Chains A and B, each alone.
Chain A
Amino acid sequence: MTTVLAPRTPGEAAQALSEATAARASVTVAGGGTRSRRGRPGPPADRELRTTGMDRVVAHEPADLTLTVEAGVPVTEAVRIAASAGQAWPQAEVREGSTVGGVLAAAASSRQRLRSGAVRDSLLEVVIATGDGRLVTAGGRTVKGVSGYDIPRLAVGSLGTLGVIVQATLKLWPLPPARAWFGAGGPLADRIAAAERALTGGVRPSSVLLGPGRLAVELAGPEDDVRAPEGLAPLTEAPAEPAGEGLVEAGVSPALLGELAVRLEEAGLPYEAWMGVGICRVAVGSAGDVARVRGWALALGGHASVIDGPDHLRADPWGPEPPGVHLMKRLRERFDPAGILNPRMLVWA
């Protein structure tokens, strides 16, 4: 039986972890649970720490473009608060049910990454509760700063293996005056060429997404810039995401993403390639699909991870070990000495 831990404050979270370390009890960290089918399959952990009770908005400073919240605050709430002051957290993937801590721990960047950058670039200060229950603050709350080692960057994408993110200060940006999606169909070669034109044209798009049979471009800025580029027509809504039993996220050089798209279209796999960024999300239905997509990504010098899916798709969620695994191990030992946190995540670390 898994014991549920539901801390309401960072202090309580640290206390719970310190007790778990003392008892050598494994702990799964759960945010909103919108992407909990991650990592290597295995028996449930001894305890589950739910972050949703830590839901205080600590400080919103619109004039300083910063927002400090506890990790359990829903990402939709963080975005609503920002929008109330005409601001946005454009780097974050916003989904109903996801938490700020979950988005950061999973490094879930938004489709606007082309223009706004990765979510790891938006985290100014972080407080984490380490595996052994220390509360560590790192970074700084100002929009700019170098203040010692960049632990916030380690925390983003660490999938809860270095500590539980309990509080975060985010850098906000002004909301654009206007934004809209435009799309086109046609043969793949033509769509890739149109994507290239969108990337190098005068208006910097916030998103250029290639998918089976379609190209979608999002423009944002002054009204005058948010007009259909040549050969594209307005879309009424954002393009749908690839859907399947599981989801693989591949990363390859932006210069090679078109080549990956060629293979995916030939194979008939639903996908969404973030042109100019190098990310490609692919819907998969079998372990064979996972292996094929990973094979192509590796051949192009990239990588592919299963970010969601049932157990049978996650025998090997990450593929070959990345360089520096021994450093990751050492980091992990120093932040989670008993190795209790999310033992099925980043298993080589």
Chain B
Amino acid sequence: MATTQAPAVRDRFAALLDPGRVIDHPLERRLYGRDGSIAQGDCGLVVLPETTAEVVACMRLAHDLGIPVVPRGSGTGLCGGAVPLDGALVLSVARMSRILEVDPSVPCARVEPGVLNLDLSTAVRHLGLHYAPDPSSQQACSIGGNVATNAGGPHCLASGVTAQHILGMEIVLADGEVLRLGGTAPDPPGYDLRGFVVGGEGTLGVVTEITVRLSRNPPHVTTMLLDFPTVAAAGAAVGGIIGAGVIPAAMEMMDQKMVVAVEAFVRADLPVEAAALLLVEVDGTAAEVASHTAVVERVGAETGAGRVRVARDEAERALFWKARKSAFGAVARIAPNYYLHDCVVPRTRLVEILARIYEIGAELDLVIMNVFHAGDGNLHPLIAFDRRDPEQVERVHAAGTLIIEACVAVGGVLSGEHGIGLEKRDFMPLTFSATDLEAQACAREAFDPEGRMNPAKVLPIGSRCGEIVLDAGSLPEGTWL
């Protein structure tokens, strides 16, 4: 349990902000010791700056005091990225939540990092624009957090993940230096530092302002639900659609257990008897939508889809998406806890890996459900459990490891969009050699030579760049990763 900070340190931060924006109460600090994952960290002070100047002041003081810093957005991250260790300072940008500028002539928007993902799209809707990356958590997660995790979402299949939508940013480095990287003018000379910071998981600096690309709303959209008698048939449909030269705007799969849970929650008249459901959305011109819809219907018929239910209107489309996006809420009603996994396999291995996941569930006597971005092979096995049962928690842990190993064995990667953080950190050697990890450590170290930004995340403890060992930060007793 975290102890109260030395008053002197608290007072020094309070002098920079105001006392109300420096949190020292043990209960509140305990809340900031967590994110959307299951890890419980050990949180020191929490500071809530409202401007870049205040972030700089806090970073300089942390630098002078030699305190590690964990940047935090909305705390919805699922890999423990925002979880502080060893009493690190948590710097929350949640109060930096203004949309500074919308420029429809680019089109782009300049925002503070605490702006919530969905709030941005809502704010530009009247211009016929939207911000394309749409994580399922978009009502709650921040754009800054999205940048730090290179977040994805259902519509990233065709339009690309966060990295492709970030034009520029302002970042405060570990020593308080402010840099503006990239911008609306493409391809500035030199290394693409802007692109490198995306996905940096808070270990490279604090992102304090972001210029995002906005996208024009497609003139036509068609959303379809296809049900299948087997998971293999659904997998064949995914391959068939892409094989026919169609990359849908989104292509999501849900298996039966998930469909049953969601139907009980949202009542969307989903076919609960189907082994798997595909949600496919195509968009573009009338001609594109017509030809892509025809492909989806044809492939559906060829691969044994029971019925292709086409959303008749915007309300039904919204209902389909509500079903997809409330999957996690639905599970929360039936299991006290769940562990949401994230890994990627080559799309052609989807069916085989799902079979293996069901086997793992059976072997370890666990309920595993699946709802995921099928179009790009990005799995999200969800393991329901009760954390009060330590023996069950052990099995959940074991299942997580087996799933990762199975994905890597068929040519997959550790994470599709949630990041490495603490959760996957110790699995990095499964996909990277010591030399590869050393190069990553070196790149990180170029930004933060003292290793004070979000220490002990992403790279295994002891990763080094030459003589410098990245270390610092241990997990409190009993922490479960």
**Chain A residues proximal to chain B, CB less than 8 Å:** 61-66, 86, 107, 109, 117-118, 120-121, 130, 134-138, 140-151, 153-154, 156-158, 162, 173-175, 177, 200, 202-204, 221-225, 249, 251-255, 277-279, 297, 300-303, 305, 318-319, 322-325, 327-328, 330-331, 334-335, 346, 348-349
Contacts and interface: CB of A to CB of B under 8 A. Distances in A.
A1 to B, nearest CB: 31
B192 A157 contact: yes
Most A CB within 10 A of own CB, among B163, B179, B184: B184
Interface string B266-303: 00000000000000000011111011000000000000
Contacts of B179: 323-324, 327
Contact of A221 (B288, B378, B435, B440): B288
A147 B415 contact: yes
B137 interface: no
B344 to A, nearest CB: 4
A226 to B, nearest CB: 9
Interface string B439-462: 110111111010000000011000
B420 A147 contact: yes
Interface stretch (B38-46, B194-202, B224-232, B388-396): B194-202
Nearest 6 CB-CB pairings of A with B: A140-B413, A174-B245, A153-B195, A253-B184, A224-B287, A330-B446
A115 to B, nearest CB: 11
Contact of A346 (B190, B435, B465): B190
B479 interface: no
A125 to B, nearest CB: 9
A86 B243 CA distance: 9
Contacts of B152: 144
A301 B348 CA distance: 46
A17 to B, nearest CB: 14
Nearest to A274: B186
Given A253-B185, A277-B186, A63 B347 contact: yes
Interface string B409-434: 00111111111100000001001110
B287 A144 contact: no
A147 B413 contact: yes
A300 B184 CA distance: 11
Interface of B: 103, 105-106, 149-150, 152, 156, 160-161, 163-164, 179-181, 183-193, 195-196, 198-200, 216, 219, 239, 242-243, 245-247, 284-288, 290-291, 344-348, 373, 376-378, 411-420, 428, 431-433, 435-440, 442-447, 449, 458-459, 465-466
Nearest to A199: B216
A147 B192 contact: no
A61 B179 CA distance: 40
Contacts of A63: 239, 242-243, 347-348
B344 A144 contact: yes
B298 to A, nearest CB: 15
A252 B185 contact: yes
A320 to B, nearest CB: 9
Contacts of B150: 146, 150
B163 A328 contact: no
A279 B187 contact: yes
A136 B185 contact: no
A142 B412 contact: yes
Contacts of B161: 144
B189 A303 contact: yes
A84 B245 CA distance: 13
Contacts of B377: 64, 142-144
Given A146-B415, A146-B417, A331 B446 contact: yes
Contacts of B291: 177, 222
A185 to B, nearest CB: 24
B245 A175 contact: yes
A109 B192 CA distance: 14
Contacts of A135: 435
A221 B186 contact: no
B190 A149 contact: no
Contact of A323 (B181, B185, B413): B181
B199 A149 contact: yes
Nearest to A147: B413
27 contacts: A63-B243, A64-B348, A118-B186, A121-B163, A135-B435, A138-B440, A142-B346, A142-B411, A142-B412, A142-B413, A145-B416, A146-B415, A148-B459, A157-B190, A157-B191, A157-B192, A173-B247, A204-B216, A222-B290, A223-B287, A253-B106, A255-B106, A318-B189, A322-B188, A323-B180, A327-B193, A330-B446
Nearest to B192: A153
B156 A148 contact: no
